[in-house]
A and B are shown apart, each in its own frame.
Chain A
């Protein structure tokens, strides 16, 4: 099967120069920020699937924040304050990684009260409205008003913050000024910033290769799955010490205040296991998310994460990603138990192509040294918009390159986000996107193409075409290349018991209180979905629902085909029957 592609060579410093260590596979994501319209559909569908339960009202496994802005939770990127992720310290002349929030002893010492734990106000106090007054209010001249009520205390409250309070730069310069990323770039920049640009940054857990959340968990309840790299919390072993919450620099582990356990984005692993994309990817309006495999050398992770200059972290992470076409890599992958269909998937991986072949995807905050695996194609739109605003041709290569040259502000900002402040890689990516834009205009207008445009950015006409196809018109199967999980171990994947399908979990519909407090006691398990049912759904045009009619609507089970069970009351069925 897997045939090596002679066009691919191993990069310098890559796998070719020394024997490949333990080869591991990771499901990774790329988001193309140019296409994000900030509609929050991804956040809402994710919430419907995973966190529409008591205790997780404030939790958004997927959130979309406007940049510049404070983010969610507020100012989470300020690691001097929150102390998430890793830091490099010099010990006996050698660089070593240490948890920024303190080592093991310190963790145990502060276990009774985590000093870096964000409060509910740092996220936001979730609320609902007192809708009943609308119906029950006595007749009067005034319109009745549904007052907001806190979902935490039940009291009437004033709404003062939310997960996207500063959406579209709402709140203006006052709020924007507290953006920790903005604070890093110089002062005069800040002033003109808002006129300069704005874009959306959808965020999920990064499913890091070197996850500091896992390293921070005193109970050892968090783990990285060795098959696909998904980072999960074992709900049976979590004891609620909350160290993961503060340990994650992206603040993507949340504390369920009703169950007393940590929860996080699961990369929709019940779906990934059967080859379906995550709910956020599936429902993304801009179709800007890509999912695919990355093979990496696990033995070199620590070394790569500890390079001295944070600006080298991007290259270091690229370096440990192995070329799935390299025969030596294929051999190592087989040696380490990676099945052939997974290797093929890795060769087709859009993530690998975008990150390593075309080098247009960048990691978010590599300086946290967790080796994040959700990468981003930085937006060219600010540059384009700026040119258009000044009345120039925004598809002209010269104009675009000139503007990239001139617009230092957005580039330094993007560099603070994606390359630890190094503008060069961001610059290079934007140039490639600009080249693609003007080159493809010629193609679309039927003009003669100009090979010097791709040459200018170090690409060939073919690779530029291929990149265009992947970015602009890629079909479902090309955007999501996800091999199904293997069951050779003998266990049938009958029951996708998931780390959250406990009482009140997405797979559950019974909520209540056990004898030892909220959600204690033996949960009555309800499967999220079955392997076969999902398979049927995946390949059918008609609805194929589980027989359990009273299962509540759960978008986790929905792949967009047919009508999900429970979406409408079953009048129709009654008529039929």
Chain B
């Protein structure tokens, strides 16, 4: 069971993520959008959306630091375990709470603003469940990990080790199996969230417009280049 969960699943997730994104890009460029509902309502959105997104950005950075950087490296530069965990707890808790508050506001807005609710698809609702599950379990593990709630656990000796071992194609199942159930649940929720990216509106995360910072302001395009190639097959001649 453990083997299946912690070896096959992550690779299946990755495959679905890559394949799904490629598929979506190929077949649904037109549906690839934020599907913003700001036109309908912007008072709550103005608070909830930045709170959620910026919180999430910090959370992602936190995950990268926590999972990618081995404990030995932070030891080497003289960061004590306590210091590390305090900063992880403080930053993680702040970011996690603002993400959670943000999504709470957004979901409240979605439910109570008529037009926004009408524009909510079943796909969106399912996505919200997964997203909230990932955030809530994540916040829980942050608190558990630091020993605020329940028994303290140093995930950098279990989850992180397993995570890095995935990339050497030699999954360390034992490391993950040693993690408490809460961490295992959060990991599963996280995998589910990753899988859902290409198949929900979350896909807009992949079009974060960093290129905007570097391109010239005015874009010129030739008429020919502007003509979508894939659509020339429907000529009625």
User: Which residues in A have their C-beta under 8 angstroms from that of B80?
Assistant: none
A214 at the interface (CB under 8 A from B): yes
Shortest CB-to-CB span from B93 to chain A, Å, is 21
B209 with A108: CB separation less than 8 A:
yes
**Smallest Cβ-Cβ distance to A258: which chain B residue:** B119
User: Which residues in B have their C-beta under 8 angstroms from that of A211?
Assistant: 218
Question: In the complex, which of the residues B42, B119, B234 contacts A257, with contact meaning CB atoms closer than 8 Å?
Answer: B119
B36 with A520: CB separation less than 8 A:
no
A142 at the interface (CB under 8 A from B): no
Segment at the A interface, from B24-32, B131-139, B171-179? B24-32
Segment at the B interface, from A222-230, A355-363, A399-407? A222-230
**Smallest Cβ-Cβ distance to A515: which chain B residue:** B123
User: Which residues in A have their C-beta under 8 angstroms from that of B204?
Assistant: 239-240
A546 to B234, CA, bound (A): 13
Question: In the complex, which of the residues A214, A238, A546 contacts B236, with contact meaning CB atoms closer than 8 Å?
Answer: A546
User: Which residues in A have their C-beta under 8 angstroms from that of B115?
Assistant: 152-153, 257
Segment at the A interface, from B59-67, B82-90, B225-233? B225-233
A219 with B209: CB separation less than 8 A:
yes
Segment at the A interface, from B4-12, B46-54, B70-78? B46-54
A260 with B28: CB separation less than 8 A:
no
Shortest CB-to-CB span from A468 to chain B, Å, is 36
Shortest CB-to-CB span from A63 to chain B, Å, is 17
User: Which residues in A have their C-beta under 8 angstroms from that of B167?
Assistant: none
Shortest CB-to-CB span from B114 to chain A, Å, is 4
A510 to B46, CA, bound (A): 35
A547 at the interface (CB under 8 A from B): yes
A257 to B209, CA, bound (A): 21
A548 with B236: CB separation less than 8 A:
yes
A502 with B30: CB separation less than 8 A:
yes
Interface residues as binary, B116-139 with A (CB distance below 8 Å gives 1, 0 otherwise): 001101011000000000000000
User: Which residues in A have their C-beta under 8 angstroms from that of B231?
Assistant: 495, 497, 501, 525
Interface residues as binary, A505-527 with B (CB distance below 8 Å gives 1, 0 otherwise): 00000000111111111111111
B235 at the interface (CB under 8 A from A): yes
**Smallest Cβ-Cβ distance to B53: which chain A residue:** A112
Interface residues as binary, A79-104 with B (CB distance below 8 Å gives 1, 0 otherwise): 00000000000000000000100001
**Smallest Cβ-Cβ distance to B124: which chain A residue:** A517
Most buried by A among B54, B224, B226: B226
Shortest CB-to-CB span from A558 to chain B, Å, is 18
B30 with A497: CB separation less than 8 A:
no
Q: How many A-B residue pairs have CB under 8 A?
A: 195
A119 with B39: CB separation less than 8 A:
yes
Q: Which of B193-221 contact A (CB under 8 A)?
A: 199-201, 203-204, 207, 209, 211-213, 215, 217-221
Most buried by B among A154, A235, A497: A497
Given that A517-B124, A517-B201 are contacting pairs, would A113 and B38 also be in contact in the complex, using a CB cutoff of 8 Å?
yes
Given that A225-B221, A522-B28 are contacting pairs, would A153 and B33 also be in contact in the complex, using a CB cutoff of 8 Å?
no
B182 at the interface (CB under 8 A from A): no
B212 with A517: CB separation less than 8 A:
no
**Smallest Cβ-Cβ distance to A24: which chain B residue:** B220
B81 at the interface (CB under 8 A from A): no
**Smallest Cβ-Cβ distance to B214: which chain A residue:** A104
Shortest CB-to-CB span from B105 to chain A, Å, is 11
B236 with A240: CB separation less than 8 A:
no
User: Which residues in B have their C-beta under 8 angstroms from that of A258?
Assistant: 119
A116 to B102, CA, bound (A): 21
B3 at the interface (CB under 8 A from A): no
A516 with B201: CB separation less than 8 A:
yes
- Which 6 residue pairs spanning A and B have beta carbons closest together? A520-B31, A218-B209, A260-B35, A215-B217, A240-B33, A260-B33
Add 5 more A-B contacts to A152-B40, A152-B114, A259-B30 (CB < 8 A). A220-B209, A223-B226, A228-B223, A525-B233, A548-B236
A sample of 12 cross-chain residue pairs with beta-carbon separation below 8 angstroms, ordered by A number, consists of A108-B212, A111-B209, A113-B46, A152-B40, A154-B114, A215-B218, A219-B209, A236-B29, A491-B227, A518-B35, A520-B30, A530-B235
